[in-house]
Amino acid sequence: MTQERAIIELTRESNSGPSVEGSPEIVLPSNANEGRGREMDPKLTEVSQLFERFKAACTRDDLNTSTNQLSQLKVLLTGFRSLPPLFENTPDADKELTIARDVYEHAVLLSVKIGDQEAFERNFFQLKPYYTDAGSCLPQSPQEYMILGLNLLRLLVQNRIAEFHTELELLSPTALEDPCIKHAVELEQSFMEGAYNRVLSAKHNVPYKSYDYFMDLLAKTVRDEIAGCSEKAYDYLSISDACHVLLFPSENELLEYIKEEHPEWEIKNGSVVFQKAKESAPCKEIPSLQLINQTLSYARELERIV
């Protein structure tokens, strides 16, 4: 309408004769869209709206809905060329990288809620480039150190110690000072030293509630290790001693553990009897005579060489 009025005024002036000197010059307005913010990409809008619904489903622990919406989000994210591995400089690259990082962070935490370690590993490796390759063009995520600590804890639970130390080497000095990373490092040191009581007590001092899942798995790993050593070292233990050795606060928890994990153990006269487990364990005969003959043969060959 502004353009039409200006055209009408110009027409009137041209019909009425030459313009008067000093009269204000009429300037036609520029494009109506100029000066206004560029509209958001419809695909980005769709992802943002779905992501909000996904977060709401995660908050109310609707795992089925969350899982389905996560799959839809991952499919939609494949349409953004600014994401790894392409990293194209699109007009909405910053927004696309940020929302993709947020999606994969929530995917990692969702896999912890579900208790799916394979999904955790997949989602973490999809997220990692946003912390490394895209870290220079994005502000640091407030959940970065928490998720890195979770991954270290996962590697510890799975006894992948070499990978645990590899991941530590990739962290910055600032990251190593974070409580989430320190928690995992201290756990690994206690585990390697055999200080299992410190490992189990650390369950009560986790930095975030999301750590509980892996801490429960680690506690089970520790108890299984102690149980395996105990049945080799002792024929039997009193129930109170077994509680102390296996780090159970009550007899009921000990009995439940035996029922679920070691049904071959017997409870007899107030004691846990391991003898049955020893008898059922397969014994392999050592071929001592064969080993002696091989050793003597190697010795004779070495004498000939010398």
Same domain, 213 and 160: yes
Q: Are residues 218 and 248 in the same domain?
A: no
Give the number of domains in the chain: 2
Q: What is the Cα–Cα distance from 128 to 62, expressed in whole angstroms?
A: 26
Q: Are residues 82 and 224 in the same domain?
A: yes
pLDDT tens-digit series, residues 16-60: 444 434 444 434 334 334 434 567 789 999 999 999 999 999 999
Contact 104, 130 (CB under 8 A): yes
Element holding 266 (H helix, E strand):
strand 266-268
Does residue 265 form part of some domain? yes
Residue 118 lies in a domain: yes
Query: Do residues 74 and 210 share a domain?
Result: yes
Q: Is 299 strand, coil or helix?
A: helix
Same domain, 176 and 253: no
Q: How much is the pLDDT for 203?
A: 84
**Residue 79's pLDDT is what?**
93
Confirm if 92 and 48 have CB atoms less than 8 A apart: no
Same domain, 261 and 145: no
The pLDDT score that the predictor gives to residue 54 is 97
| pLDDT score at 25 | 42
**In terms of domains, do 118 and 181 share one?**
yes
Residues 130 and 207 in one domain: yes
* 12 domain-assigned: no
Q: Which residues of the chain have pLDDT under 50?
A: 1-4, 6-8, 10-11, 13-36
Residues 108 and 256 in one domain: no
- Domain match, 124 and 201 both: yes
According to DSSP, residue 177 is labeled: T
| Domain containing residue 226: CATH number | 1.25.40.990
Phi, psi values for residue 38, rounded to 5°: -65, 135
How far are the Cα atoms of 86, 87, 90, 171, 304 from residue 133, in angstroms, in the given order? Answer: 11, 9, 17, 14, 60
Range of the domain at 189: 42-232
| Amino acid sitting at position 213 | Y
Which among 111, 149, 145, 105 is positioned nearest to 127, based on CA atoms? 105
Contact between residue 67 and residue 113 where contact means Cβ atoms under 8 Å apart: no
- What is the pTM (predicted TM-score) of this model? 0.73
Q: Which residues contact 87 (CB under 8 A, 6 or more apart)?
A: 133, 134
Residue 67 lies in a domain: yes
- Domain presence at residue 296: no
Residue 293 belongs to a domain: no
